[in-house]
Structure 1
Amino acid sequence: MTALPAKVTIWEVGARDGLQNEKSVVDVQTKAEFVRRLLAAGLPIVEATSFVHPKWVPQLADAAELMTMLDNPDLPVLVPNERGLDRALELGLKHIAIFGSATETFANKNLNRSLDEQFAMFEPTVVRAREAGMDVRAYVSMCFGDPWEGAVPIDQVVSVGKRLFDLGASQLSLGDTIGVGTAGHVKQLITAFGEAGLGTDALAVHFHDTYGQALANAYAALEVGITTFDASAGGLGGCPYAESATGNLATEDLVWMLNGLGIEHGVDLDSLVATSVWMAEKLGRESPSRVVTALA
C-alpha cells in the first residue's frame, strides 16, 4: 500500500454548506444546537455560516444572530466580499473563507463577476482580514467539471487556485462542486498544484457524491498526501447555483473509512451519527449517509 498520512483534519461544512440548500428554513436555535453537537462530537473545525446577502441564500439570513448565540470567535464563516467581512469583524471572528470559481460561467452566476474580476473583488477583503489578524481560507469551486462548460482544464484550475492563494490565504480547498471527479483526476490535479509550488500542506479537498465517487476520491487524495478533508455531517448539502450538485461527502462515511485505515481524526462516530439522525428528523427526511443509515 501507498504510505498514507497518520492523521487528518476534518473541516466540517454541514452547518453552512450542508444547510444552505435546504428549501425549508431551519430556525436559528436548531442551527446553534447543530453546531454545538458537531463540536461535542470532536470535530476540530466547524464552519458555521455565511455572511451572504439574504436575497441569494435566505437560509443563512440569520448568520449574525447565530454567531452571537454561539459566542465562539474561532468558528470559521464564509464571506463573499468586504460587506461580509465587516460583519465578521464586528463580531470579533478570527477565521473567514472566500469562495472563488475556476470557471468563467460559474463566476458570473455565483459572484456576478468574470473569472478575472473575482480576484479584484477578493483582494481588499483578504488584505483587510489579514491586517486584522484573521486567518483566511480560499475555496475554489468547479475544479473538476462545470455544468455549463464541461471539463475544466487542470492548468486553468491551478492558475485560479494559485491566484487566490497568493492573495493571502493560508489554505486552498479544491471543490468538486458537481461531483464529477474521479480518483485519477484527483491525483493529477493535486500533483499539478505541487508542480506549481503549492504542496499538500496548503491544500484541502471538498468532494460531492453525485456519481458516488466522493469516498474513492478522498482515498485517492490520501494517497497523494492530503491531510485536510471537507465533509458534511449526514451528507447534507449541494449548491444553490448548480442544480446538478448533490450532497457533500458524508462526514460519517469519511470517518468510517479513516477508522478502517487506522488514521487519526479525533471524531466520535457514534456521537456524530446521533447528531445526523437528530438533524435528519428536524429536516423531515432520512440522512443520505450510508454509514448513518447502517448504524442508526
Structure 2
Amino acid sequence: MYTSEISLAPPYSFERLLRRLETHPDPQLLVDVQEGTLRRVFRVGSRPILVSLQFQGSMEEPVIRLRAESTLSETEQQLLEKTVRHMFSADLDLAPIYDHMRGQQPLVILTERFRGLRPFLDSDLFQCMVKTIIGQQINLVFAASLTERLLELAGDTLQDEEGRVFMAFPTEEAVARLEPDDLRPLQFSQRKAEYIIDYARAIVNGTVDLDRVWQMEDEEIISYLTSLRGIGRWTVECLMMFGMGRPDLLPAADIGLRNGIHMVYGLAEKPDEKEIRRIGEDWAPWRSVCSLYIWEAVGAVRRKEVWE
C-alpha cells in the first residue's frame, strides 16, 4: 500500500466538485459525498491500480489524502501523483481568472456562487477522446452507459476489500483489437464504433503521437487530430479542455453552453454559435474556465439549487 498527501492551490471546493460529479455520471468512479471520498482505477504505466482519494482540509487549505491499494515503485508513485494533480487541476491559480470574470457583470455571481470550482480532467488523452466521441450528439446518461459497456467489454477490473468491482478504461491496444461489430450489440452506432476504433488504431500504429500533442499550440492540435475520420473541431476542443486543461477554449457549438449563456446573460433568445463566440471574446484568455462556470450554472439549476 502507498499513501501520500497532495496539497492543492486554494481556493478549492470539494463540495462543488462532488456536486458536479453527481450530474456527470462516470462508471469508473465511486463517489461518497458524505465521506468526501472518490475511488477509481488509475493506469500507472501499464498497471491498473485501485486508488482511494479522501478530501481533507478546508477550501483555503485543501488536501487530498491518496491511498493506492498496491505497492508502487518510486517512478510509479511520481506518475500517479502527477496524474492526480493533473486531474484535479491542483496548481491552477483561480485569482487572476476571478479578477477577469469580475470585470464582466453577468459572471460576477458565478465567482461568488461557485468559488473554488475548477476543472476536473480526464486522466489521459486516449480516454478523453474516446469519451468525447461517445458523447457526441447523445445525452450524458446514455453516454455514461455506452462508456460502461466499453469498459466491460475491453477494460480491466479490480476488486476492493469488500468485493466491489472497479473498471479500468481500456488501453489503446485493447480497443484497436476490436471490430465495429463488437460494439454494435452494445448500442454503439456504426459510425461511432468506427471512429473510436480508428482512433485507437491510429495511436497503436503511430499515425497519432499523443506525447507530441502536449508540445503543440491549440490550432496545431486541431489541425493534427481533425485529419482523423469522425473527429471535428468541437471534439478536439473538448480534448484540449477536459484532457489537457488548456485555459482558453470555447466550444461554441455546445448546447449546454448555449443554454447557460442564455440564462446567465438574461438573453431574450438562445444565442447561436456566432453570438457565443462574440460573447466569449470577453472571456479570453480564460474561456475554458468561464465555460465551466456557465455549465455549472446549468447544473445547479438541474440540481434545484436556489438561483437568484
Normalised by the length of structure 1, the TM-score is: 0.30
**Structure having the higher Rg:** 2
Structure possessing the higher relative contact order (Cα contacts under 8 Å, 6 or more residues apart): 1
Normalised by the length of structure 2, the TM-score is: 0.29
